[in-house]
Amino acid sequence: MAARTLQLPAAIQDYIIGLHCHFTTLVCLTFKRRMTFRSIDMPFLAIHITLCPAYQYSTRRYRALRFRARSRYAGGSYNKEYLTTTQYQTSVKEPQVKKKTPEQLRSHRWYGAQDMRAFGHRSRTAQMGFDRSDYAGKPVIAIINTWSDINPCHTHFKQRVEEVKRGVWQAGGFPVEMPAMSLSEPFQKPTTMMYRNFLAMECEELLRSYPADGAVLMGGCDKTTPALLMGAISMNLPAIFMPAGPMLRGNWGGATLGSGSDTWKYWAELRAGNITEKDWQEIEQGIARSPGHCMTMGTASTMTSAAEAMGFTLPGAASIPAPDSRHAAMATLTGKRAVDMVWEDLKPRDILDADAIHNAVTAVLAIGGSTNAIVHLIALARRAGVMLDLDLFDALARKTPLLANIRPSGKYLMEDFYYGGGLRAVLKNLGGLIRANAKTVNGKTLGENIADAKVFDADIIRSIDTALVKSDSLAVLRGNLAPDGAVIKPPAAEAQLHQHTGRAVVFSDYNDMAARIDDAELPVDKDSVIVLKHAGPLGGPGMPEWGQLPIPQKLLKQGVRDMVRISDARMSGTSYGACVLHIAPESFIGGPLALVQDGDLIELDVPARKLNLKVSDAELARRKAAWKAPAPRYERGYGAAFSQHITQANEGCDFDFLEAGAETPDPEIH
Ligand code: FES
């Protein structure tokens, strides 16, 4: 029989120890006075007891325990704030409306029927170690995870997916991880853009063909964000985006390094002979120091910020650095929210309307975002049946200030941006330029989500009065060289090149450029206009990020660091320079860029939004008649399908059959 022991409360134990100390002191005092305790000793004893650390400690602890016990039993206010102000509860609208019953869940068609197929679904779920109680009547949340060993920007997704699952479980859902193609920007060739629509299709069809009620979309590296959102918009199940978050700042000998931007910069310095091969190797080791996507305002940071501005993430999610503990917490909260979105039946096309697109474009302009966002946002909008064209970008650019002081347009990096207040602070500083009533995934409006945003560093996140650039952080150009438009990022170009006329130095494709650009005999000077053909959606193929055409080595050695360069390519958001991009229609299909010849005069006028080839119409007609279409890039496979259906840059480069149209029906369960 187990011995019974008396357990006194800890506070009482402490109190007894304290009294024991006092009693011992008293005995010592009386012994010292030959056992004659006198009344004169009483005040001394009282002071001793009051000052005794053991007495004070036991008294404080006793009071604390008594207060806690009273609060608990009285339903009082002990630590009430702790219970009511978690990030999730404050970021989600209350009360939530439950619009579905368990029987109305999409997954119920797989799991709930009384037939042989449902038996198969349940028995195979049991095979994975689950009990019916794990999933019956619960929203199945598909977690589309773009983790891959070949994608350095998503290395933390193996851990993050567990945190998303934790949130789904906690909210009463059933998480199911579904891996999808990763689109690793540094490694995938010819370009990840070739596969953006592929991932979009994969996302859409994963959600359609499996018993998903809702989705968490895990992306961040450049094209993964638009691809996952495009697929989710087309499928239109409740979906929330979990951005990968930027990596930490790069470092080289104490100098801060930014993804991409400093690669271009120091590559030019290496070619100019200003740094050594050893310096270059040290930069290689220090420029990417942690998980997460590029930490300049490249395409990744631009598109995750656009996703947040459109309302597809929890508030503040896009700015959190990948290794930060808040990122892990955000992942869990995202999983939780996905479950509630299913019950509320809050779907992507409830969120993505003209206001959301307006906010995304405005946000991209205010953060000095990548020109790639133009192509992606047009494609996203078209998936939802919302009209967006280049003219809206130009119109909003004329009145939107550049507020985020982030490279390549500014000075800092995304880690600084987070500490400075993040995207919410930028959106708040934009005031009336943002459409505050736009819906978001947490059930609140964008205006509600940014109402309490604060700026912690006014140099990183500027006000409208202290904007880096008052307007025109982007310009859409037209003219006889770009009838369907071209784009340039004026703040990233040297100001004297905004209005420039120069003679063309033409390269027929990338290989031609690579072979001749550093030729000492190349007839080029600082006023020349470098032209690259066959770099568009079909010509690249995939419209690669070649648009920051290299400056010839002989000019680099003369100190030239910027020139007017034009192409039908895209450009990395981390790049800079007077680069005219996205010329449409592209040269591969006979657009006017195909007709440019060495020595032609080209006129760029950014304030007037003009890009013209100073060649007579008659001469251009003669050249057009003599132009021969190049052989197709692909005869079979995905490349052939890509070539048959890709649209031009001004149309978003989506596949024509994926743009808005009749709904695709859910599969029958047979
Ligand atoms: Fe992944 Fe830049 S390489 S975001």
Residue 183 beta carbon below 6 angstroms from any ligand 1 atom? no
**Mean pLDDT, range 8-35, rounded to an integer:** 54
The atom of ligand 1 lying closest to the CA of 186 is 3
For 586-636, the pLDDT digits (tens) are: 999 999 999 999 999 999 999 999 999 999 999 999 999 999 999 999 999
In this structure, the chain runs to a length of 670
Phi/psi of residue 545, each to 5°?
-85, 65
Residue 300 beta carbon below 6 angstroms from any ligand 1 atom? yes
* pLDDT score for 178: 98
For residues 439-473, one letter each, b for 16 or more C-beta atoms within 10 angstroms of the residue's C-beta and e for the rest, the string is bbbbbbbbebbbeebebeeeebbbeeeebbbebbb
The atom of ligand 1 lying closest to the CA of 184 is 1
Beta strands 529-532 and 564-567 are: parallel
Element (H, E) at 204: helix 196-209
**CB-count burial class (<10 Å; 0-12, 13-18, 19+) for 53:** exposed
Check pLDDT > 60 for residue 317: yes
Residue 185 beta carbon below 6 angstroms from any ligand 1 atom? yes
* C-alpha 282 to ligand 1 mean position (Å): 20
Beta strands 529-532 and 499-507 are: parallel
Q: At what angle do helices 354-366 and 299-310 cross, to 10 degrees?
A: 140
Average pLDDT, the chain: 90
* pLDDT score for 659: 87
Residue 154 beta carbon below 6 angstroms from any ligand 1 atom? no
Element (H, E) at 366: helix 354-366
**Mean pLDDT, range 396-400, rounded to an integer:** 97
Residue 153 beta carbon below 6 angstroms from any ligand 1 atom? yes
* pLDDT score for 478: 97
* pLDDT score for 3: 39
pTM: 0.87
Range in 96-105, 226-235, 356-365 with the lowest mean pLDDT: 96-105
Instruction: Using pLDDT thresholds of 50, 70 and 90, give the confidence band for residue 97.
Output: confident
* pLDDT score for 268: 87
> Strand, helix or coil at 499?
strand
Q: Where are the beta strands (DSSP E) in 181-340?
A: 214-219, 239-243, 250-252, 255-257
HSE at residue 363, side-chain half, CA atoms within 13 A, is 33
**C-beta of residue 222 within 8 angstroms of C-beta of residue 246:** no
Closest by CA to 178, choosing from 146, 200, 225, 224, is 146
**C-beta of residue 306 within 8 angstroms of C-beta of residue 377:** yes
* pLDDT score for 25: 55
* C-alpha 52 to ligand 1 mean position (Å): 62
HSE at residue 634, side-chain half, CA atoms within 13 A, is 17
Instruction: Using pLDDT thresholds of 50, 70 and 90, give the confidence band for residue 661.
Output: confident
**C-beta of residue 554 within 8 angstroms of C-beta of residue 635:** no
